[in-house]
Amino acid sequence: MRRILGIALVPLLLALLPVASPPGGAPSAAAGAAEAVATSCSGRHWVASWYAAPGDAVLSQPPVEQTFRVQVMPTRQGSVARFRLSNRFGNRPVRFGAVTVGRQDSPGSAAIEAGTLRALRFDGQRALVLPPGADVLSDPVRLRFPAFRALLVSMHVVGSPGGATQHGISEQTTWQTAPLSGDHTASLGADGFVGLPIPGVTPALPQGIPYVIGMDVRASRRVGTVVTFGDSITDGTESEISAVVLSPDNIDTFTSYPEQLGRRIRRARLPLSVANAAISGNQLLADASVPIFGPSGLSRLRIDALARAGATTLILLEGINDIGQSFATRDELVAGYREAIDAAHERGIRVLLGTLTPQNGALQPGYGAMAEPTRVELNRWIRHQHRSDGIVDFDRAVRDPEDPSRIREEYDGGDGLHFSAEGYRAMAAAVPLRALRLPACD
């Protein structure tokens, strides 16, 4: 029987650990995180090192007997990994004739480094039939890889199974062979693979990440996972001309705030990985009217965030789309935050609640000056509430000191709502490392 994903419960002992203190007079990052480590941390376990939350299959490109090649950027190094495939939103079974993984030969390339190609197996078999609504976990595979160097997962999709479950509006290139071209999973070279978005084409039509939704790494039990959760501001969009047309500047730069937070954690030598469970366009309270934006944050929180292997801390930044698209009130969003925080606490996961970032002047309809009063009221509640274990004041980190309703000019990605790489770096720097929890080992 295929191993279908389950929720990895964090030990209940986590709930008894000290709560993060407010910024100012805090211990060092290493000292603050280390307080969560119990006396015995021998052995190894799985931690999520990369995630791409799936949102739909409606607006994807249906495969037709061809091979997809997807970039996976691990936030923690390792030598044993497992990969997660999904047909969560498909309405027909998907047959994978073969799935492989290898180290990317060079940044931006579809080529695989010689000597690193590995076949993925599922219960010992190379072929896999994944039924509608299901996720599946591969067998462990041995492959040594550093952090922040892409791996390439190649999938031969047999026949024409309809729309592909995908993480839409990704800020990275995904390659594919021509329809009816068959199995190219064993090919080391880039010949025959075409990448989307097309380099140098402005504006860029986004390419989703089909089928591959996660990567776990075998690590010491001292290692935990920080899960970031939210919408396009967490997903790393730089700017949008429309819902499906992006600025090309951030594509394949891997500069979202979670990715830059992961690099900051690595420099601090903290035993933590980062898994980004955001979906562009997502709302906390309501399912998206545009399918690519995914189901509501509350409905997907458990499967996309709380179920991540090794999860110890959740950073929640969501609500700006609820205000801009659904005209949600401050009280409605407060109720949603309370529900999300309580769900995380039930699993012993620490929650850091993020303030909503400025959006006055946003080009998108529904945002801007009319939405600003609700954002300000909500941020006031976030800063003064005690239900979460701490806050990340993203608003203060990126706002214009001369006009706090707007993003600082150098941080603006170009549409008044999203951020440049520098803006996302400021967001990553705003996360208090001492507030990130490590596992409480047995």
**3-state secondary structure string across the chain:** CCCCCCCCCCCHHHHHCCCCCCCCCCCCHHHHHHCCCCCCCCCEEEEEEEECCCCECCCCCCCCCEEEEEEECCCCCEEEEEEEEECCCCCCCEEEEEEEEEEECCCCCCCECCCCCEECCECCECCEEECCCCEEECCCEEEEECCCCCEEEEEEEECCCCCCCEECCCCCCEEECCCCCCCCCCCCCCCCCEEECCCCCCCECCCCEECEEEEEEEEECCCEEEEEEECHHHHCCCCEEECCEECCCCCCCCCCHHHHHHHHHHHCCCCEEEEECCCCCCCCCCCCCCHHHCCCHHHHHHHHHHCCCCEEEEEEECCHHHHHHHCCCHHHHHHHHHHHHHHHHHCCCEEEEECCCCCCCCCCCCCCCCCHHHHHHHHHHHHHCCCCCEEECHHHHHEECCEEEEECHHHECCCCCCECHHHHHHHHHHCCHHHCCCCCCC
Q: Centre a 10 Å sphere on the Cβ of residue 268 and count the other Cβ atoms it contains.
A: 15
What's residue 28's pLDDT? Answer: 45
What's residue 385's pLDDT? Answer: 97
What's residue 4's pLDDT? Answer: 40
User: For residue 75, which amino acid is it?
Assistant: T
Pick the CATH number of 219-435 from 3.40.50.300, 2.30.130.10, 3.30.1700.10, 3.40.50.1110: 3.40.50.1110
What's residue 442's pLDDT? Answer: 62
Task: Please state whether the peptide bond connecting residue 197 to the residue before it is cis, i.e. omega within 30 degrees of 0.
Answer: yes
Q: Which segments of the chain have a pLDDT < 50?
A: 1-32, 34-38
For the whole model, what pTM was predicted?
A: 0.90
